[in-house]
Structure 1
């Protein structure tokens, strides 16, 4: 294989990886948008502008924690068996959102190496973190199968979170009335300090 052919293979691999990352990031942004909408639902339209300001300052992890707290608090005293079961499902989906956020960070902040493509190898994504336990290596080959698996898992998560959003829209504003009042009362206390 000559240099031009080798360069073309690396260029094609780079293009495929870029498209995958674009699809992945846009889909994950849809998830983050649903988290924003759930927070809006919980606080009501009365505080729309205030909520927009707060959301602009929140990280994805903060949004996930807030959504979990708001929904669990709203259904804390429910006697409805189906709502209790739904809450278990909700919490399992939110755990998946948290795990997917870590995957998203790895994919977005990883370093991609295309040099193996000229030998028929997949693109390699290198990602490592330094933590209490030392260096954690999350590097992996990014074959077509791996990229497809990431997108399929993300689409399932989108579908599950979409169903959660739809259910909360159906229940709102009734289930969030007390939670919204408590939140705004706490916000007023902070504001007056």
Structure 2
């Protein structure tokens, strides 16, 4: 019987990306091979409890909302994540996946909207970027850059041009909390006419760093 190790399942508002503001069930898988300097979910690195696919689906359905986000940690570090994504799609949910981009996204169910980080130098994990994942991106996907400083910003702009990412999907520039002034980032983006969307984390504006929100 398929099982996954889960840190938490909870209902909140989606705070990021295209579906920001929608009531969303978050399924947070345990485990991550990365240790980004700005990580806001280190409690998902270990622990958690084992759930069967049936138990996860039953709990998600109990919230009675359309949107489901599978996140982590790094969800794809658990091979059964693919089975979970398929099962959620089969059940009729609108499913998104938040992934670091360090693992292969090519076999993710095509019905899933993938939100993939490209790790900036300030993350401390830039070397873990799997740049071949860019070839798998579709119009429904999004690429996110978490910006900590000017060097991160310039590196991110360089990747947009080098890989023509905006021709493939939507791009998000997100200021790292307590490290990058959002207004400064907005000014840079306006000055340079960056073809990306500034993203502020709605859930943090509403509830701060409360776990499970």
TM-score interval (norm. to shorter): under 0.3
Which is helix-richer, 1 or 2?
A: 1
* Greater relative contact order (CA < 8 Å, ≥ 6 in sequence): 1
TM-score where L is the length of structure 1: 0.25
Q: Which has the larger radius of gyration?
A: 1
TM-score by length of structure 2 reads: 0.24
